[in-house]
Structure 1
Amino acid sequence: MPLSRAERPSSLRDYSYAQLRDAIVNGELAPGERLRDTELEAWLGVSRTPIREAIARLEAAGLVHTRRAKETIVAPLDARDAFAAQRIAASLHELAVRDAVPLMTEADLTAMRAANERFAAALTSGDVDAAIAADDDFHAVAVGASANPLLPGLLEQVTPLLRRLERARFAGLAGRGSVGDHDRIIAACADGDPDRAARLTRDNWLTLERLLAASGTDVPDPEETK
């Protein structure tokens, strides 16, 4: 388990969750790898209680599975689960933008443009991690501007699962086409058009299905999941 460790924040529970979540999403902790409390304690430098609390959150997010009450493993990559998460994320971000547009400031629009510039640069250089981070920064502007306190927690339930599949697949994809999508979202926000901005945002979040289908990944039929 050769993992790096960031500086710990005041909440050991949140720290443990964030460190484990990121290690699973970026592949440092591989699908099927067993998570042992003693090893996690040594790596994170925290006691078993915050680790078990973090594991419970990770299990709720679909990132780990607990078997026989004690053994915890990193969940396998599952395209069906990721696409289910994608549809939820698309709806939540659509809601965020619809509520945010009337409240957005010029500073918000500037932040979106800056994030999209970083996103484009990361795609050009082939830096998948930086591209996903910039994409998160772009969409976070509307989530924050929406002033809906429930959205961040709801998105945290589904976004890591989706980002995990993206990181595993994007390196083999020829571009994402989202830079132009982002430009159109910014234009709609600047025009004060919440309906158009919300529709464009939803469409942008639903592009993963098309990209993965083009890469040869088996994309589940939405009707089969009902």
Structure 2
Amino acid sequence: MPIPKNFTPQIRLSAKEKAFNQLQRWIVDGTLEPGEKVTDIDLAEALGVSRTPVREALQLLESQGFVEMRPGKETKITSIHPDDVLTVYPPLAQLQALAAEMAAPLLTSEEIAELKALTADYELAVKHENIHEAAELDEHFHNLITDVANNPYVRQFSDVLQLHIRRMKYVFLNQSASPKLQSAREHWQMIDALEKNNPEKAAEMMKQNWLRPMKDIHQLLKEGKK
């Protein structure tokens, strides 16, 4: 796929941050396709920056598993395999469960109310088959809990793993693989546990919320590769 020429640049960022954020976005949403070869010259021209910040950004993306670099030979976007879902989901489920456990005694009544509002909106989005809106609301729900947990390492690694999962969905999943209301029911159970300051139950429901769909998504990815 050709590198996009027209996009809204981000402001108040260093050249390296600008390159990193935009390249990561293009990789996650499939604009830069799995297995596609890229060059720092073309990317620098598209982004309107020099080659140095692009190379630095690519090195960071390689450390996150989005890019494969062979110095002096080629740089390409990492391919996606169906079994990757079985590698990504379990550690993310553990991290998110830890976040829920840590957040339980810290959540304010206002934050609980926000979690309820996000879940109600998520239910409506699913019922109306607004798939992208539902996915965004689901991410906001999980990110709020992770933010309250106030552990930068949990947040950092969760964010990277969630990006990999989002990338899989963009590349392979179609609208027939819509989010299910079961996820909303798990959210309500999680909120109930958090509101009652029950860290163990909140962690249990969080872990279930991530691991339950893993097998279904894995099967869909396998079918998408046929």
Q: Shorter-chain TM-score category?
A: 0.7 to 0.9
Instruction: Determine the structure 1 residue equivalent to 2:183.
Output: 178
Q: What are the equivalent positions in structure 2 for 1:93-104 lying under 5 Å apart?
A: 93-104=96-107
Q: 1:210: how far off?
A: 2.7
3-state SS of paired residue (1:38): helix
> Partners in 1 of 2:208 and 2:137 — Cα distance?
18
> Partners in 2 of 1:87 and 1:94 — Cα distance?
11
Note the aligned Cα RMSD (angstroms): 2.2
Instruction: Determine the structure 1 residue equivalent to 2:60.
Output: 57
Question: Does 1:16 pair with 2:19?
Answer: yes
Contact 1:119/1:134, CA 8 A, preserved across alignment: yes
Identity rate of aligned residues, in percent? Answer: 28
> Partners in 2 of 1:165 and 1:181 — Cα distance?
23
Match of 1:195 among 190, 200, 204: 200
In the alignment, residue 169 of structure 1 is paired with which amino acid?
Answer: L
In the alignment, residue 181 of structure 1 is paired with which amino acid?
Answer: E
Greater CA drift, 76-85 or 123-132 = 123-132
1:100-147 Cα distance to aligned partner (Å, 9 max, x none): 100110121122123223333333343433222211110011111112
Change (3 A) 1:210 1:53: same
Aligned length, in residue pairs = 218
Instruction: Determine the structure 2 residue equivalent to 1:161.
Output: 164
Contact 1:5/1:43, CA 8 A, preserved across alignment: no
TM-score by length of 1: 0.86
Q: 1:70: how far off?
A: 4.2
Instruction: Determine the structure 2 residue equivalent to 1:29.
Output: 32
Q: Which runs of 5+ in 1 are unaligned?
A: 219-226
Q: What are the equivalent positions in structure 2 for 1:1-226 lying under 5 Å apart?
A: 1-2=3-4, 4-67=7-70, 69-167=72-170, 168-169=172-173, 171-176=175-180, 177-213=182-218, 215=220, 217=222
TM-score by length of 2: 0.86
Q: Which runs of 5+ in 2 are unaligned?
A: none
In the alignment, residue 212 of structure 1 is paired with which amino acid?
Answer: I
Q: 1:180: how far off?
A: 1.3
Greater CA drift, 158-167 or 209-218 = 209-218
> Partners in 1 of 2:36 and 2:210 — Cα distance?
29
